[in-house]
Amino acid sequence: MSTETGAGLAPGAARRPASGRSKNVDVYSLWPIAVMVLIIIATALSSPRFLSVFNFENILSQAAPLGIVTMGQCILLISGGLDLSVGYNIAFSSIITGLLLEHNVPLPVAVLAGIAAATAVGFVNGVLAAQGRAHPFIITLGMSIFLFGLDTQLTGGAPVNNMKGLYTAFGSYLPGGFPFFGLPSVTWPFLIVVLLTYGFLRWAPLGRRAYAIGGNEQAAYLSGIPVKRTKIYLYTLMGALVGITGMVLSGQINEASFNLAQNFELQSIACAVIGGTALFGGRGGAFRSLQGVALWGLVQNSILFIGFSSNYQQMALGVIIIIAVMVTRAQR
Partner 1 sequence: MVPSANDVGAQGPAEALLYAENVSKRFPGVQALLDIDLTLNRGEVHALVGQNGAGKSTLVKCISGVYPPDGGRITFDGREITTYSPKHAYDLGIAVVHQRPQLLPWLSVTENVMLGQLPARKGLVIDRRKANELTRDLLARLRLEIDPEVPVARLSAPERQQVAIAKALYRQAKLLILDEPTAALDAQRSARLFALIDDLAQQGVGVLYVSHHLEEVFRLADRVTVLRDGRLVATQPTAQLSQDEVVTLMAGHRIAESSLAGSATVAGEAAPALEFCQLETDVLHGVDFVVHQGEVVGVSGLIGAGGHDIARVLFGLDRPTAGRVALNGTTYQPHGPKQAIAQGVFLVPEDPAQDGLVPVLSVAQNVTLVSLKAITRRGVLSLRREREVADRYVGELSIATSSVHTAVRNLSGGNQQKVLLAKSLTSKAAVLVLEEPTQGVDVHAKAEIHRIVRDLASRGKAVMVVSTDIRDLLQFVDRIVALRAGRVVADLPARSTTYAQILDLTVGSVAVPGS
Residues pairing with 160 in the sheet: 256
Residue 138 near partner 1 by CB under 8 A = no
Task: Give the largest Cα separation in the chain, rounded.
Answer: 92
* Closest by Cα among 221, 211, 224, 222 to 77: 211
Structure-derived torsion over alpha carbons of residues 205, 210, 213, 219, reported in degrees to the nearest 10: -20
Task: Number of residues interacting with partner 1: please give it, by CB under 8 A.
Answer: 40
Choose, by CB under 8 A, the member of 173, 211, 235, 296 that binds partner 1: 211
Residue 17 near partner 1 by CB under 8 A = yes
Residue 329 near partner 1 by CB under 8 A = no
Residue 27 near partner 1 by CB under 8 A = no
Shortest CB 127 distance to partner 1, Å: 18
Residue 133 near partner 1 by CB under 8 A = no
> Is residue 256 classed as helix, strand or coil in its secondary structure?
strand
CA triple 115-117-121, angle to 5 deg: 115
Choose, by CB under 8 A, the member of 57, 142, 226, 313 that binds partner 1: 226
Residue 101 near partner 1 by CB under 8 A = no
What are the residues whose beta carbons fall under 8 Å from the beta carbon of 250, sequence distance 6 or more?
94, 97, 98, 163, 166, 256, 260
> 162 or 331, CB closer to partner 1?
331
Positive or negative, the CA dihedral 230, 232, 235, 238 is negative
How long, in residues, is the chain? 332
Q: Single out the segment in contact with partner 1 by CB under 8 A; choices: 2-10, 34-42, 150-158, 177-185.
A: 2-10
Q: Single out the segment in contact with partner 1 by CB under 8 A; choices: 8-16, 100-108, 139-147, 163-171.
A: 8-16
**Residue pair 310/76 in contact by the 8 Å Cβ criterion:** no
> 17 or 108, CB closer to partner 1?
17
Q: State how far the Cα of 191 lies from the Cα of 168, in Å rounded to an integer.
A: 19
Residues pairing with 256 in the sheet: 160
Interaction residues for partner 1, span 235-264 (CB under 8 A): none
Residue 330 near partner 1 by CB under 8 A = no
Amino acid at 178: F
The per-residue DSSP string of 68-85 comes to HHHHHHHHHHHTT---S-
Shortest CB 176 distance to partner 1, Å: 42
Choose, by CB under 8 A, the member of 189, 275, 282, 297 that binds partner 1: 282
Shortest CB 278 distance to partner 1, Å: 8
State the number of CA atoms in the 13 A half-sphere of 298 facing the CB.
22
Residue 205 near partner 1 by CB under 8 A = yes
Residue 22 near partner 1 by CB under 8 A = yes
- Per-residue mark of binding to partner 1, 164-203 (x: CB under 8 A): --------------------------------------xx
Contact residues toward partner 1 (CB under 8 A) are 1-6, 9, 11-17, 19, 21-22, 24, 202-205, 208-209, 211-212, 215-216, 218-226, 278, 282-283
